[in-house]
Structure 1
């Protein structure tokens, strides 16, 4: 059973991970919006990308908030980096 200090450290590590991954997603959206403003994407393409961001941010939130904090914090350090942007991609039919 983890100690109170270990649980606090896990929560802090997971919060930092959540913030860093969310920052990456927001930066990606910024790049795509710049492409839209430059005329490289049409309204439907940027809409699809914004929807993908929304799905990716939700998947990240679920991982950081619905999984046991100690397990999630440990898996963040043990596993290869999760590509949240791809996790938000629409399912291919």
Structure 2
């Protein structure tokens, strides 16, 4: 069984990771909105980006908040590559 300090450290590591990864996703939204303002993207293009952001942010949230925080912290500390943007991509229809 882990100590209270270990669990607190794990929660802090996961929270820091979550915020950093969320910032990466938000940056994509900002780029899309800038593209819309510059006339490079239309509203539908930005809507697709927003939908993918929403899905990706949800997957990130689930990873960080569902399950054992110490296991998640271990994965975060080992810097396992998880591509959240791709996880938010629409599923291919059959």
CA shift for structure 1 position 2: 1.1
Q: Which runs of 5+ in 1 are unaligned?
A: none
Please name the residue that 2:64 is paired with. 64
TM-score (norm 2): 0.92
Alpha-carbon separation, structure 1, partners of 2:73 and 2:17: 8
Q: Is the 8 A contact 2:35 2:41 kept in 1?
A: yes
Which deviates more, 28-37 or 71-80? Answer: 71-80
- The Cα of 1:59 is off from its aligned counterpart by 0.5
The aligned counterpart of 2:80 is: 80
- TM-score between the two structures when normalised by the length of structure 1: 0.93
Q: Which residue of 2 is the match for residue 6 of structure 1?
A: 6
**Cα pair 2:13 2:76 within 8 Å, conserved:** no
Partners of 1:88 and 1:28 in 2: CA distance? 12
**Which whole-Å deviations, capped at 9, do the CAs of 1:55-88 have from their partners, x for residues lacking one?**
0111011011012100001011225321111110
The aligned counterpart of 2:39 is 39
Moved over 4 A (4+): none
Q: How many residues align?
A: 93
Partners of 1:68 and 1:36 in 2: CA distance: 40
What residue ranges of structure 2 are gaps of 5+ in the alignment?
A: none
